[in-house]
Structure 1
Amino acid sequence: MVSVISCILYDHNIALVILAAIICVFGSAVTLRLLRRGVCTRGSQRLGWQFLAAVAGGGGVWATHFVAMLAYQPQVPVTFDPAMTVLSLVVAMAGLFGAFLVSGARASRVFPAMGGALAGLSIAAMHFTGMFAYRVIGLVEWRHDFIAAAILLAVVCSSAALSLLCRRHLGSSRYWGAVALMVAGIVSLHFTAMTAFRVTPMAQTFPEVDAHAVVALALAIAVAAIIIVGTGLTSYLIDINVRADSNKQIRHMATHDALTGLPNRASFKSRLAEAHREAREADGKFAVIVIDLNRFKDINDTLGHAAGDEALKTLARRMARALEGAEFVARLGGDEFAAIRRFEDKSEIAAFADRLAGVFSQPMKISAMEAAVGASLGAAVWPDDAEDVDELINNADLAMYHAKVGYRETICFYDAEIGAAVRKRRQLAEALRYALEHDELEVHYQVQMSLAAGEIHGYEALLRWTHPQFGPIPPSDFIPLAEENGLISSLGAWVLRRACMDAAEWESGYRVAVNVSAVQFMDSNLPRLVHEVLVETGLAPHRLELELTETALVKDKSRSLHVMRQIKALGVAMALDDFGSGYSSLETLRTFPFDKIKLDKAFVDGIQEDRQSMAIVRAVLALGKSLEIPVLAEGIETGDQMSILRAEGCDEGQGYLLGRPMPIGDLARHGRSTRADALQDGEKPGDAVATGKVATA
Structure 2
Amino acid sequence: KTPPGVFFEKKVIVGASAQELRDLFPVPVHEILPGSMIQALGAETLLQGRALEKGGEWIAFTAALAVFVLLLLTNVEGWAVKTAILALCAVALELVAISLQKSFPVIVPTASAHFVLLLAAASVVFRELGLHKLLLHIATIRQRNSERMLGLVFDDSFDGIIVVKSGGLVSAANQTARTLFQCDDLVGRNARQVLPAELVEEALAVLAAPPAGKPVPSIIEAAQIDGKRRFIEYVVTRSERTIANSARSKKVRTQAVACLTCRDVTLERESVERLSYLARYDAVTGLENRNGFEEKLEQVIVSAQATGQDLCVIQFAIVNLDQIIASLGFSYGDQLRHAIAVRLKNHPAQKAHWAAISADVFACVLDWQPDLEFGVIETVKQVVAEDYNIEGARISVQLNFGFVVTDNPASAEDLLRKSGNALARVRRDSQSQTLAFRPELDEQLQRRRLLETELFKAIGRDEIHLAYQPLVDLSDNSVIGAEALMRWHHRELGPISPMEFVPIAEENGYIVELGAWALNRGMKEALSWPSPLRLSVNISAVQFSRGNLVATVKEAFERTGFPSARLDLEITESLFIDDDLDLEFRMQELKALGCSFSLDDFGTGYSSLGYIPKYSFSKIKLDKSFVRQSISNRQDITVIEAVLHLANGYDMSVVVEGIETAEQADKLRQLGCQIGQGYLFGRPMSASSLSAHLANAA
Q: Same fold (TM over 0.5)?
A: yes
Aligned alpha-carbon RMSD (Å): 4.7
1:539 to 1:296, Cα distance in 2 relative to 1, 3 A? farther
Which 10-residue stretch deviates more, 517-526 or 575-584? 517-526
Written as runs of structure 1 = structure 2, the 5 A alignment for 1:600-679 is: 600-605=623-628, 608-674=631-697
C-alpha displacement of 1:517: 2.3
Residue number in structure 2 paired with 1:252: 277
1:527 to 1:329, Cα distance in 2 relative to 1, 3 A? farther
Distance 2:645 2:175 in 1: 104
AA at the equivalent of 2:363: A
The DSSP-based 3-state class of the residue aligned with 1:576 is: strand
1:529 to 1:95, Cα distance in 2 relative to 1, 3 A? closer
AA at the equivalent of 2:658: G
Residue number in structure 2 paired with 1:318: 340
The answer to whether the aligner puts 1:53 opposite 2:77 as a matched pair is: no
The DSSP-based 3-state class of the residue aligned with 2:487 is: strand
The answer to whether the aligner puts 1:502 opposite 2:539 as a matched pair is: no
Distance 2:563 2:393 in 1: 46
The DSSP-based 3-state class of the residue aligned with 1:274 is: helix
Residue number in structure 1 paired with 2:536: 513
Match of 2:588 among 538, 562, 565: 565
AA at the equivalent of 1:245: E
1:417 to 1:635, Cα distance in 2 relative to 1, 3 A? closer
Match of 1:598 among 602, 621, 624: 621
The DSSP-based 3-state class of the residue aligned with 1:575 is: strand
Residue number in structure 2 paired with 1:444: 467
The DSSP-based 3-state class of the residue aligned with 2:600 is: strand
Written as runs of structure 1 = structure 2, the 5 A alignment for 1:162-177 is: 167-168=215-216, 170=218
Alignment check: 8 A CA contact 1:164 1:178 kept: no
Distance 2:335 2:669 in 1: 57
1:566 to 1:673, Cα distance in 2 relative to 1, 3 A? same
Distance 2:691 2:478 in 1: 14
The answer to whether the aligner puts 1:286 opposite 2:311 as a matched pair is: yes
C-alpha displacement of 1:445: 0.3
Alignment check: 8 A CA contact 1:458 1:510 kept: yes
Q: TM-score with structure 2 length normalisation?
A: 0.60
The DSSP-based 3-state class of the residue aligned with 2:161 is: helix
Aligned length in residues: 499
C-alpha displacement of 1:610: 0.9
Q: Taking every aligned residue pair, what percent have the same amino acid on both sides?
A: 29
Which is helix-richer, 1 or 2? 1
The answer to whether the aligner puts 1:276 opposite 2:308 as a matched pair is: no
1:509 to 1:351, Cα distance in 2 relative to 1, 3 A? same
The answer to whether the aligner puts 1:379 opposite 2:487 as a matched pair is: no
AA at the equivalent of 2:294: K
C-alpha displacement of 1:368: 7.5
Residue number in structure 2 paired with 1:458: 481
Distance 2:173 2:450 in 1: 75
- Structure 1 residues 212-232: Cα deviation after superposition (integer angstroms, max 9, x where no partner): xxxxxxxxxxxxxxxxxxxx9
1:176 to 1:616, Cα distance in 2 relative to 1, 3 A? closer
Alignment check: 8 A CA contact 1:256 1:267 kept: yes
Distance 1:45 1:626 in 2: 94
Which is strand-richer, 1 or 2? 2
C-alpha displacement of 1:621: 1.3
Distance 2:508 2:580 in 1: 26
Alignment check: 8 A CA contact 1:319 1:359 kept: no
- Structure 1 residues 446-502: Cα deviation after superposition (integer angstroms, max 9, x where no partner): 111222354332110112223444533333344344445655444434333332332
C-alpha displacement of 1:669: 0.9
AA at the equivalent of 1:327: A
Distance 1:635 1:176 in 2: 80
1:275 to 1:570, Cα distance in 2 relative to 1, 3 A? same
- Structure 1 residues 404-442: Cα deviation after superposition (integer angstroms, max 9, x where no partner): 565454543334444444434444444444435533122
AA at the equivalent of 1:332: I
Written as runs of structure 1 = structure 2, the 5 A alignment for 1:141-540 is: 167-168=215-216, 170=218, 239=264, 241-258=266-283, 262-280=287-305, 284-292=309-317, 294=319, 299=323, 304=326, 307=329, 310-311=332-333, 314-315=336-337, 317-323=339-345, 324=347, 327-333=352-358, 335-341=360-366, 343=367, 345-347=369-371, 350-358=374-382, 361-362=385-386, 372-381=397-406, 384-404=407-427, 407=430, 409-436=432-459, 438-483=461-506, 487-523=510-546, 525-540=548-563
5+ long unaligned stretches in structure 1: 1-43, 66-88, 98-122, 128-154, 197-231, 676-697
AA at the equivalent of 1:353: I
Alignment check: 8 A CA contact 1:385 1:415 kept: no
The DSSP-based 3-state class of the residue aligned with 2:462 is: coil
Which 10-residue stretch deviates more, 639-648 or 409-418? 409-418
Alignment check: 8 A CA contact 2:344 2:384 kept: no
Alignment check: 8 A CA contact 1:449 1:456 kept: yes
C-alpha displacement of 1:336: 4.0
C-alpha displacement of 1:573: 1.1
C-alpha displacement of 1:176: 14
Distance 2:587 2:432 in 1: 35
Distance 1:95 1:586 in 2: 80
Alignment check: 8 A CA contact 1:618 1:648 kept: yes
Residue number in structure 2 paired with 1:219: none
Alignment check: 8 A CA contact 1:442 1:463 kept: yes
Q: TM-score with structure 1 length normalisation?
A: 0.60
Residue number in structure 2 paired with 1:685: none
Distance 2:645 2:173 in 1: 102
C-alpha displacement of 1:180: 11
The DSSP-based 3-state class of the residue aligned with 2:649 is: helix
Alignment check: 8 A CA contact 1:353 1:410 kept: no
Alignment check: 8 A CA contact 1:597 1:632 kept: yes
C-alpha displacement of 1:296: 5.5
- Structure with the greater alpha carbon radius of gyration: 2
- Structure 1 residues 531-581: Cα deviation after superposition (integer angstroms, max 9, x where no partner): 233333332222221111222112217622122222222221111112222
5+ long unaligned stretches in structure 2: 1-152, 178-186, 190-202, 221-231, 250-259
Distance 1:46 1:376 in 2: 64
1:635 to 1:257, Cα distance in 2 relative to 1, 3 A? same
The DSSP-based 3-state class of the residue aligned with 2:357 is: strand
AA at the equivalent of 1:545: D
Distance 1:329 1:157 in 2: 50
